[in-house]
C-alpha cells in the first residue's frame, strides 16, 4: 500500500528529526538551555521546510504532529517525559491560549498555496518558522513551570508567545538557506 503525500512528508520529517536529536537530553557537551534552544530551532526550520511543500491546507495535519514531537523532546530535556499524545494535548492547550493568531496563520498558509503559490515560499518560511519557534518557547516555559509545581499564567504564556514570535521574525531571515536546503529532503 502506497503512502499518501501527507503521510510521506510527515514520515520523512520525523525520521530526519529523530536522527538529529535522538538522546539530546543525554548529551553532556551542551547545557540544558542550549539543548532546548537547539531543539526549538531544529523543529522550527524543519516545519518551515515541510510547510513549503505543495500540499494546500494539509499543513496543520503535518505540522501539528511535528510540533507535538518537539514538546516530547523538550519535556525529555526537562526530565519530565511526555508521550506524543500528551504533547499533542499540551499543544492544543497552548494553542487555545495563544488563540486565533495561530489559526489565522494556518488559513493564510493554505490560501497562499492555492491562490498565490509564487509567493508562498517567501511568506511561508518566516510565518511557519515563527509559529513553531513561538510554540516551542511557550511549551518550554509551560513545562518549566509544571516541573517547578508553579501555576501556569495565561498572560505570561501570551507574552512569551509575542516576544518569541518577534525574536523568530528577526531570525527567519538568517535561516532561509537552511530551510531551502531541508526542503529538498522532504
DSSP assignment letter at 3? P
Percent of the chain with pLDDT over 70: 79
The sign one gets for the Cα dihedral 95, 99, 101, 107 is: positive
Read off the pLDDT of residues 4-60 as tens digits, 9 standing for 90 and up.
Answer: 877 887 788 777 777 777 778 788 888 999 999 999 999 999 888 887 776 665 566
Using an 8 Å Cβ cutoff, are 32 and 120 in contact?
no
- What global pTM score does this model have? 0.78
Is 31 buried (19+), middle (13-18) or exposed (0-12) by CB count in 10 A? exposed
Is residue 48 within 8 Å of residue 175, measured between CB atoms?
yes
pLDDT over 90 percentage in the chain: 17
| Position 141 pLDDT exceeds 90 | yes
Polymer length of the chain: 186
Please report which confidence band the pLDDT of residue 100 belongs to, taking 50, 70 and 90 as the band edges: very low
**Residue 83 in 3-state DSSP?**
coil
Q: What is the pLDDT of residue 89?
A: 83
> What pLDDT does 1 receive?
60
Residue 148 has pLDDT above 50, yes or no: yes
Select the more confidently predicted residue: 177 or 184. Answer: 177
DSSP code at position 25 = G
User: Which of 119, 110, 105, 126 is closest to 49 using CA atoms?
Assistant: 126
Amino acid at each position: 500500500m502506497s503512502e499518501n503525500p501527507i503521510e510521506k512528508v510527515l514520515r520523512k520529517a520525523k525520521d530526519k528529526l529523530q536522527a538529529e536529536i535522538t538522546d539530546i537530553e543525554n548529551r553532556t557537551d551542551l547545557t540544558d538551555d542550549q539543548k532546548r534552544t537547539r531543539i526549538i530551532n531544529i523543529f522550527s526550520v524543519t516545519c518551515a521546510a515541510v510547510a513549503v511543500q505543495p500540499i494546500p491546507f494539509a499543513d496543520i495535519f503535518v505540522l501539528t504532529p511535528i510540533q507535538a514531537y518537539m514538546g516530547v523532546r523538550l519535556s525529555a530535556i526537562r526530565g519530565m517525559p511526555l508521550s506524543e499524545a500528551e504533547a499533542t494535548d499540551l499543544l492544543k492547550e497552548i494553542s487555545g491560549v495563544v488563540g486565533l493568531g495561530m489559526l489565522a496563520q494556518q488559513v493564510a498558509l493554505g490560501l497562499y498555496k492555492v491562490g498565490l503559490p509564487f509567493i508562498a515560499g517567501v511568506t511561508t518560511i518566516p510565518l511557519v518558522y515563527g509559529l513553531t519557534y513561538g510554540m516551542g518557547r511557550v511549551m518550554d516555559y509551560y513545562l518549566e513551570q509544571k516541573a517547578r509545581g508553579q501555576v501556569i499564567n495565561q498572560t505570561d504564556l501570551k507574552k512569551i508567545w509575542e516576544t518569541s514570535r518577534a525574536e523568530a521574525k528577526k531570525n527567519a531571515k538568517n535561516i532561509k538557506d537552511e530551510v531551502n536546503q531541508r526542503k529538498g529532503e522532504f
